[in-house]
Chain A
Amino acid sequence: MEYPDGLHYTKDHEWALEEEGVVTIGITDYAQSELGDVVFVELPEEGTVIKAGEPFGVVESVKSVSDLYTPVSGEVLEINGDLESEPELVNSSCYDAGWMIKIAVSNKKELGELLSADQYADYIKSLK
């Protein structure tokens, strides 16, 4: 399992990467591995305003359907359209090509409340 440094993590297994006020969001290696083969990802429309902790989409695998929760509040600038035809990118490249949405973050302080890579790795250990 890989949890790259520099990303922020949630206990719901999303990651967030902040670059100049834009936060990219996806799900973690642990999440994709637990879900198994992802077959469908439902994402919000661009322009949607979402609040930290609320569901922004749905990820469906052969095993289950799960809500996706946004780690930070803001407006959705862009969604990863590739996931519509290639949901498997979430499995093969969860931190890169499998990203889900980009948000114009409205309150950067929310990032400070998220877990670091080490904290998230410890959290995963506590689940086992």
Chain B
Amino acid sequence: MAQQPGARGLVFNEPLIFEHGRKGRAGCDVPKSEFPEIDPATVAPPSMLRGPLEGLAEVSEPEAVRHFTRLSQWNYGVDSNFYPLGSCTMKYNPKVNEAAARMEGFAGLHPLQDASTTQGALRVMYDLEKMLCEVAGMDAASLQPAAGAQGEFAGLLLIRAYHKEKGNPRKKVIIPDSGHGTNPASAALCDYAAVTLPSGPDGLIDLALLEKEMDGDTAALMLTNPNTLGMFEKNIKKVCEIVHAKGGLVYGDGANLNAVMGKARFGDMGIDVCHMNLHKTFSTPHGGGGPGSGPVLAKKILEPYLPAPRVTLRDGVYGLDFNRPKSIGALNAFWGNFGVYLRAYAYVLTMGGSGLKEASETAVLNANYILAKLRGAYHVPYEGTCMHECVLSDKFQQEHHVSTLDIAKGLIDRGFHPPTIYFPLIVKGAMMIEPTETESMETMDTFIAAMKEIADVAKTDPESLAAAPVTAKVKRLDETQAARQPDLRYRR
């Protein structure tokens, strides 16, 4: 068996920066000013005067460098090891994308510069919209939404605007229970009642149930395809027909696009509007809260309502069109998270059409490899092949009183970030593993070996898993206490 990457090394304790240093210490010696000092109180009004500053860290340069270097060593990211967080597509971010985003001509732009001086940036946005439309099979796009949830919000606002113009915004949105977790919240924010549609026994949308639930009061069906069970809604065309027959629209959550990119297109399936997560499928950074980017893409019927401004190309000149009377408005300060667009643009160009297709194929193959290797050691709630992620459960381990949480903690001891746990909600004790196309067979084999070893330990020494993690910087945390009495603020 290959050696596990987890080990105890020179791992440092590190207090907060405020607890370092001492009064008067500084990282550099600032020469005395050659101009006479002026007391601000003699020249500025009292409202503009600042009192003495308390509590700032006073440290030397090596103290500051060590502090932040040590903190960075506690970090775990896709640049350190396998990050199998299902439903999150934690794929590797190629460094060439970073080089593109740091090019001075882009990085130095100001959003209020005249369009005549930002033609290159506008072209990137214009071309990226076209590329994404090509991948999604849609007619028009806006890059503005700052993340997936805002993309959903934008999509539902488009749907609302569409129905409203027809005379009735309608009242509810149907969401399968295998949908993405943010979907009901997006519906509620757009003043729609979210109606949950239970999955059929095969983990897919139950057509008869949908037919029953779908009525003239339903604005839209929001679905994730493949769904959060990692299964492709193979009846998607029929699903869209049922919704369209009652005048409703279909929203496609692009969270799981990495399974079908270049293979199947939302537009061709009959979906009217969707979003994509550039920070997932298109390899832009994802951790630390972003910034993300969740472009919204739509069919022609929804184009008039897209967020303003739109990027335009007229007579070879790029511009921004603010004159969009039917638009749902702006969703983001200025033009969205432009640095993310550059990374996605570089990704699409470096991969090419065939490369994007191959990425999806490899992502699906990898997930099925893990599923096939772990079947038997772990319970598989929905049989058959999976898409880009696989779902296991702790059913077998529960016989020894070992839970999904214990398995996740056991993985930390073996040097792996745990997968997504207790999601999707419809699977008891779920573990959702998404390797993406990033991982090599060797990495996956090491992970599989760790998972199998945990399954063995669950039988022979279950208590040891209840204590895990033991090699981590911080041992098992009391999550209940943390949730019941959160301590959120630093106090000296």
Q: Chain A interface (Cβ within 8 Å of chain B)?
A: 34, 37, 39-40, 60, 62-64, 87-88
Cβ–Cβ < 8 Å partners of A62 in chain B: 479-480, 483
For the complex, would chain B's binding face be called helix, strand, loop or mixed by DSSP majority?
helix
- A39 and B480 contact, CB distance less than 8 A: yes
CA distance in complex: A63, B483 (Å): 11
Cβ–Cβ < 8 Å partners of B425 in chain A: 64
Cβ–Cβ < 8 Å partners of A34 in chain B: 428
Task: List which B434-492 residues lie within 8 A (CB) of chain A.
Answer: 479-480, 483-484
CA distance in complex: A63, B480 (Å): 10
Cβ–Cβ < 8 Å partners of B480 in chain A: 37, 39, 62
- B483 and A39 contact, CB distance less than 8 A: yes
Least CB separation from A85: chain B residue:
B484
Q: How far is the CB of A100 from chain B (nearest CB, A)?
A: 17
For the complex, would chain A's binding face be called helix, strand, loop or mixed by DSSP majority?
loop
Q: How far is the CB of A45 from chain B (nearest CB, A)?
A: 19
Q: Chain B interface (Cβ within 8 Å of chain A)?
A: 405, 422, 425, 428, 479-480, 483-484
Least CB separation from A67: chain B residue:
B196
- A88 and B484 contact, CB distance less than 8 A: yes
Cβ–Cβ < 8 Å partners of A37 in chain B: 479-480, 483
Cβ–Cβ < 8 Å partners of A40 in chain B: 483-484
Q: How far is the CB of A103 from chain B (nearest CB, A)?
A: 22
Cβ–Cβ < 8 Å partners of A60 in chain B: 483
Least CB separation from A91: chain B residue:
B480
CA distance in complex: A124, B425 (Å): 18
- B422 and A64 contact, CB distance less than 8 A: yes
Cβ–Cβ < 8 Å partners of B484 in chain A: 39-40, 87-88
Q: How far is the CB of B42 from chain A (nearest CB, A)?
A: 54
Cβ–Cβ < 8 Å partners of B483 in chain A: 37, 39-40, 60, 62
CA distance in complex: A118, B483 (Å): 35
CA distance in complex: A28, B108 (Å): 60
Cβ–Cβ < 8 Å partners of B422 in chain A: 63-64
Q: Pick the most buried of B425, B428, B480: most chain A CB atoms within 10 A of its CB.
A: B480
- Report 12 cross-chain contacts, Cβ distance below 8 Å, ordered by A residue: A37-B479, A37-B483, A39-B480, A39-B483, A39-B484, A60-B483, A62-B479, A62-B480, A62-B483, A63-B422, A64-B425, A87-B484
